[in-house]
Structure 1
């Protein structure tokens, strides 16, 4: 009832003649002026009216339920900010972020007095008909501003202080706010024009696909993958679904985690529907957009090219396109459906997941309500920063308990976010599979090499054998130098360079080419190739990195258990152009905990085989957990417990911002890029902002296929285009963009665009 009342009352302030006059105004300049007048605003007065009515209902209920006691204030906050972003609930010591109570408020008396009594009382017929609640305008205090000051501004400060320190209240408000803005936006966009029906998915579709595409197991690796799949299937079929809802799929790289996790989620979804009458949405998250397309394509194949209401891809560069049945939605409709995860299976980023929880942003919070009764798959969970382990643990425990949400953590290198007693293993005998796989040997070179020395060692290696090599460097610049050096050898092989220096569409083509080619390959890449990229190379050499990164890159070597053991070598490469500074420090810092613990675990080991991976990772993460500081997590948890929504947003950063300026560059690489840029320029000429925005959203995916982001020191254009993108046309490309290696990083040359 209280939630219904929140929805019913959220726009009651639109009944003022000030707002109605604004709606009727046809002159755009006058309308813009009126919009900024405080009497035209409807959120604040609606919030105060709702607080008065819902407080009365709570008092009448005479319950000691703490959540009921909080509902008037939560409703006030949600309605007040339903067209914006919630701030902090109250002001806290030593925190100057905005809060919801320190607003100008006297003008609401003029607004409320202006509402026609008959109209107001007529609107209140609906609560009487549905809930038997009698409300009239005459029941309200003489001055709403006085009510706000006494019952919200003063009382809520003390009430919120007394009731805070409980993490669940943070999530409950997020859920209420998400419900309100989701319903409000959906009604505004669709009205009653479309009904969103649930779609059934065959729980055995992954099993049937594997049987159809691959048949019975043929090789030793096939048997291992099949056994892991069956173990997980057996576990999820027999697990107590009333017990803990944190699961783990912790098995070696290359053992079919993508197939297994989707099948497990579908089996769990079927059980929940059969046993609990709950339809669970599946939310599959990955750390990087670079591997989303690859795994999305796997799901797409399994589901036989489903429509968007069955399988949805969502990240900031994904297509703005939504189709259900015979209906293709308009751009603004599609954008809303995508951003609110209106699909049975959503493939998205961890950024979208956690920044929809730890945020105060309206646009991000709209999908929070989709986590209720959901099955959330967190692939490559080891990519989460250590400093947020404690935070993530509390989030998952709270949301799973409050909203019946399941979390499945998927990785070959399980971090110590949870104790073994706090999670359930989908493959309880995982140690057996780690011990069965001995695909690679990792050797650690004790003596560091300068980049010049390393280049020479690499040259000699590729010239002495006909095997394929993958070289993984810590920085784009060191990768560029190495690639140019190796290309000079002119040995017979296919050369590939992979880094963010290259436009996204070309990177995807190269990864696909590497995967399909049977010829000898020489690949130079940055760390972007480590997680989830399905390629298989004889030899992998990597510049020094944290142990989980080393293990991940091993997953690109002898991935499918060939007859010949793969070889991985780890070097410390020094930047001889900068006082022999280790390249690892540019990425991981000077003395990061991860690097210190990696060296401690590896001390005394010249070579480690794959069978030791699980033991080494357990030791490594135990040392990380023992020595890391929970300060960052504790700070954000304290903000959450004190309902400091804006402060949570300001302090949680899943992706650290770089300390230098970058510039976005559009490369006219081919004829499609030429057409896309021309379309973009024509869109920028459209005067109507909403139309311009929707037109761009329709081409956004194609547009960003040709955009790279480059440190500003490597971009020396005389002036920006009015579009805020640096544009490099086909004629200009030879001076600044190499089709093999991407943006030419030279500080001395000056490019004119």
Structure 2
């Protein structure tokens, strides 16, 4: 009897082709085994990768599954067979561990405790699976020797033993599911498989960056300043330290010190020297990933070659199946690389990065093996959510200790995390003297003030020609903007995440032009402006917040050092200016505590000593919440009978409590034109990237309210179009449904 792994369809008609064109099961298993072994070899587990590749589909050797391929409607569980076979062959430790990956290669890594039919123990005890023993005529499993396990990841101390074991299972799972996806795609859709990009070498990419940095240095020489000189020294120090052996690094550079280019230069030179596979640049905010990715593309990609070097991957859109066909070659390569991060430089968000590390679904885990032997740059490391601080640090530590990764924690306000890093791993600071840098880059004086009403704050802003005020809530921003507008109509601007990126970009351009020309420029903004936005004000007001936020605000004040000194005034806002949810009040209180003891820190609220004091207070206050959802505890408790709760951990590890949904707004004529084209396009998802400048993220309840108002139209099954212009304000952006009385102008696409 001939056993098949997959049928084959005509891609145009969707009709099943004759059996002689189907994929032989033996061919599929040996190809997946090869690809899985290739991936797992990177972390010393190649033989195990081969075994799970051979075993994952042996359940398809049953007569029932072959009939399923021929058109039977009976569902057949084919994954359990391989899990049971390997558990029986390799025993209760190695066999049981590999059974997780095999059993979950379609549905996701299961929980390892008893109690649910989907969990691994029940799967391993399942009796009613079809006979699959015919596999023995075609598949030969390699013999596993002790020497095959000698190079595998090993816990570096006793506290990490269980964590390291479960992490290795997750990595093996990543190797298997990526291999399975790729071989299936190669057979089913050769054209799609062929669209996967070739790889530009990191040495070539580094040469391009060096040319870019030479041009930057030349421009700086034409405009000499202390700041430009120090930025060059920071860059040179990063290039020098890139020779250091792989490990965990910190890069403590003041805001405005050019750490984006410098950290990238460190990463690329280090990767070339130590033959790393890729750079993974992790950014805390979705709102700035596009601008950072563009900076990297400008520096690293060669337009004449039209090569794909930089992958920008975040969660603004999830592409539905079948939306691939009408993309151009470049976009196809980009989208395919997003599935497994097979690209030299990946720019992603902290949410995407960390949630993938604790996910259990194949679609999220495919990329994990490509974190092996990489350089991971964690920008604004202080932004890692406190509730997940320990699990995030443990995952990064494991990547360094056992998977050949180099990790750089990059920030102006380095959090005091050394005591939380397991495995006796000690971070190396890249800068020789961060304290001296703080002094050199001191461009502002921070004044910790008292309470200020909106009326007082508006009056103070009107008295100042150029001023930025950063507040904690959108509501406060709008109320304050209205107050300022009552007093003057001259040069007032508003910024918040309710404005789409194209709108914000235009307003920021107007702001920069006014600042450059010395014109009136009074800006009221949410924290959005602290996220890598390059503006330079003489005076900044900041609503009470944590020291890290105040430092970011200070980075928007006297940024280029053109003035003798800038002023940052921290104030306590009215009640509506301090969110009740989260820990806004708590961190503001800790900042006040540090501010009251400024004499201990040479009178500087933003000195490294004061910052360390703040974070020590914060982590002491939150010591019971550093792993609020008990992720590490659940994994550790799973050591008994290897009952690792993979599915439960994936559900609990959600960096953002309330997921947001993108709404596309018809902000200008170009947006309206692209929206109309998208609606009439046979493959609307192909227009997704063109629409990203017009996206506003909303919470589920906000989307429901907008739908109830009849102003949302769903296009391509997953894109939400705003079709009523009255719901988008030219100053404030997307309105809440309750703000609009009735539709005025409905756009017909």
Q: TM-score, normalised by structure 1?
A: 0.78
1:458 CA drift (Å) = 2.6
Aligned to 2:727: 736
Aligned to 1:637: 632
Instruction: Give unpaired runs (5+ residues) of structure 1.
Output: 26-30, 56-68, 134-161, 274-278, 322-326, 575-580, 687-694
1:163 CA drift (Å) = 13
RMSD: 3.4
1:492 CA drift (Å) = 4.2
Alignment deviations for residues 477-524 of structure 1 (CA, whole Å, 9 cap, x no partner): 11112223333444543x432112112322233335544652333222
Report the Cα distance in structure 1 between the residues aligned to 2:94 and 2:513, rounded to whole angstroms: 57
Q: 1:82 pairs with 105, 127, 132, which one? A: 105
1:225 CA drift (Å) = 0.7
User: Is contact 1:665-1:725 (8 Å) kept?
Assistant: yes
Counterpart mapping for 1:401-416 below 5 A: 401-416=401-416
1:705 CA drift (Å) = 3.3
Alignment deviations for residues 132-154 of structure 1 (CA, whole Å, 9 cap, x no partner): 89xxxxxxxxxxxxxxxxxxxxx
1:705 alignment partner, SS class:
helix
Q: CA 1:266–1:387 in 2, change beyond 3 Å: closer, same or farther?
A: same
1:673 CA drift (Å) = 2.6
Aligned to 1:61: none
Aligned to 2:69: 23
Counterpart mapping for 1:523-538 below 5 A: 523-538=523-538
Report the Cα distance in structure 1 between the residues aligned to 2:70 and 2:102, rounded to whole angstroms: 23
Aligned to 1:654: 655
1:212 and 2:208 equivalent?
Answer: no
Report the Cα distance in structure 1 between the residues aligned to 2:287 and 2:211, rounded to whole angstroms: 28
2:579 alignment partner, SS class:
helix
Aligned to 1:51: 87
Q: 2:458 pairs with 455, 459, 462, which one? A: 455
Report the Cα distance in structure 1 between the residues aligned to 2:249 and 2:199, rounded to whole angstroms: 26
Counterpart mapping for 1:347-366 below 5 A: 347-366=347-366
Aligned to 1:236: 242
1:366 CA drift (Å) = 0.8
Alignment deviations for residues 690-735 of structure 1 (CA, whole Å, 9 cap, x no partner): xxxxx34322233343332446477484447562876543xx42x3
Report the Cα distance in structure 1 between the residues aligned to 2:272 and 2:360, rounded to whole angstroms: 34
Q: 2:431 pairs with 406, 427, 434, which one? A: 427
1:303 and 2:300 equivalent?
Answer: yes
1:665 CA drift (Å) = 4.2
Report the Cα distance in structure 2 between the residues aligned to 1:97 and 1:255, rounded to whole angstroms: 55
Q: TM-score, normalised by structure 2?
A: 0.79
2:655 alignment partner, SS class:
coil
Q: CA 1:649–1:747 in 2, change beyond 3 Å: closer, same or farther?
A: same
1:436 and 2:440 equivalent?
Answer: yes
Alignment deviations for residues 378-422 of structure 1 (CA, whole Å, 9 cap, x no partner): 000011122333333322222211111110010000001125982
Instruction: Give unpaired runs (5+ residues) of structure 2.
Output: 1-46, 145-157, 321-326, 639-643
Aligned to 2:267: 265
Alignment deviations for residues 631-689 of structure 1 (CA, whole Å, 9 cap, x no partner): 4527211222322112211222222328xxx7764422233332333344446xx7xxx
Report the Cα distance in structure 2 between the residues aligned to 1:485 and 1:423, rounded to whole angstroms: 48
Q: CA 1:458–1:312 in 2, change beyond 3 Å: closer, same or farther?
A: same
1:338 and 2:338 equivalent?
Answer: yes
Aligned residue pairs: how many? 646
User: Is contact 1:251-1:433 (8 Å) kept?
Assistant: yes
1:438 CA drift (Å) = 2.4
Report the Cα distance in structure 2 between the residues aligned to 1:486 and 1:363, rounded to whole angstroms: 49
2:580 alignment partner, SS class:
helix
User: Is contact 1:380-1:531 (8 Å) kept?
Assistant: no
1:359 CA drift (Å) = 1.7
1:123 and 2:130 equivalent?
Answer: no
Report the Cα distance in structure 2 between the residues aligned to 1:70 and 1:706, rounded to whole angstroms: 51
Q: CA 1:164–1:557 in 2, change beyond 3 Å: closer, same or farther?
A: closer
1:107 CA drift (Å) = 5.9
Aligned to 2:179: 183
Report the Cα distance in structure 1 between the residues aligned to 2:354 and 2:347, rounded to whole angstroms: 14
Q: 2:620 pairs with 623, 626, 638, which one? A: 626
Report the Cα distance in structure 2 between the residues aligned to 1:743 and 1:97, rounded to whole angstroms: 46
Report the Cα distance in structure 2 between the residues aligned to 1:270 and 1:331, rounded to whole angstroms: 27
Aligned to 1:613: 607
Report the Cα distance in structure 2 between the residues aligned to 1:631 and 1:663, rounded to whole angstroms: 28
User: Is contact 2:83-2:100 (8 Å) kept?
Assistant: yes
1:535 CA drift (Å) = 1.8
Counterpart mapping for 1:217-228 below 5 A: 217=221, 218-228=224-234
Q: 1:599 pairs with 592, 610, 619, which one? A: 592
Q: 1:698 pairs with 671, 677, 686, which one? A: 686
Aligned to 2:121: 101
Report the Cα distance in structure 1 between the residues aligned to 2:166 and 2:733, rounded to whole angstroms: 45
1:101 alignment partner, SS class:
helix
